[in-house]
Amino acid sequence: MKISILSAISVSAAAASAASLLQAANPKFYCEAPRPQASTYTALPGHTLAHLQVVHRHGDRVPDYYSPASPAMDICGKYPDLTRQCNVPGVPIGRTEIEIDSTLPYANVFWSGNCELGQLTDLASEKMVRLGKTLRSIYIDKLGFMSQGLWANDIYFRADYI
């Protein structure tokens, strides 16, 4: 029996805010690597998958710094639950909606829009969900490499901060 170790690498390209802004302005102009599809994916005959390692870039984010010249970015409010799932259960997110009166002299020092500094854009969140569904359809549904349930001893996640 042959044993294969497969590393899948997915790289989402383009600069954080620029890519999302370009996508919003022109949906046909966007750089994204093609994903494998379960319908066309075939396992190597005579091989058994022993280990799967997926490395991917997080996806488009808004800048992690603020400048008074920064444009308002309303490209992050569609998926609040994705953020909530990453925090400790039972602990509130702590996000507060604040409206700043634009006539006040200090109004321009606040970040405008619905994005937190360094937050994934809605487009990036959608891409990560699609990637997860694609990987599940191939490695769990089609190949049966892992069980349908998610168990701590079967999977390991690692992430770096911005």
The angle, 0 to 180 degrees and rounded to 10, between the axes of the packed helices 16-25 and 122-136 is 90
Asked if the structure places residue 87 within a domain, the reply is: no
Taking the C-alpha atoms of residue 33 and residue 2, their distance in angstroms, rounded to an integer, is: 30
pTM: 0.63
- Read off the pLDDT of residues 124-144 as tens digits, 9 standing for 90 and up: 888 888 888 999 999 999 998
Asked if the structure places residue 90 within a domain, the reply is: no
pLDDT at 23 over 80: no
pLDDT for 138 equals 93
Q: What is the dihedral of CA 94, 100, 104, 105, to 10 degrees?
A: 60
Residue 29 pLDDT grade (very low, low, confident, very high; cuts 50, 70, 90): low
Please name every residue paired with 6 in a beta bridge, in sequence order, or none if there are none.
Answer: 52
pLDDT for 9 equals 44
Cα 118 to its chain centre, rounded Å, is 12
pLDDT at 38 over 80: yes
Asked if the structure places residue 104 within a domain, the reply is: no
Asked if the structure places residue 69 within a domain, the reply is: no
- Read off the pLDDT of residues 52-107 as tens digits, 9 standing for 90 and up: 888 887 778 888 877 777 777 788 878 766 555 455 555 555 555 667 777 888 77
Asked if the structure places residue 92 within a domain, the reply is: no
Domain that holds residue 143: 1-39+48-62+74-80+110-162
Tokens of 88: 């400790």
Domain total in the chain: 1
pLDDT for 136 equals 92
Asked if the structure places residue 88 within a domain, the reply is: no
Residue 26 pLDDT grade (very low, low, confident, very high; cuts 50, 70, 90): low
State percent of the chain over pLDDT 90. 7
pLDDT at 25 over 60: no
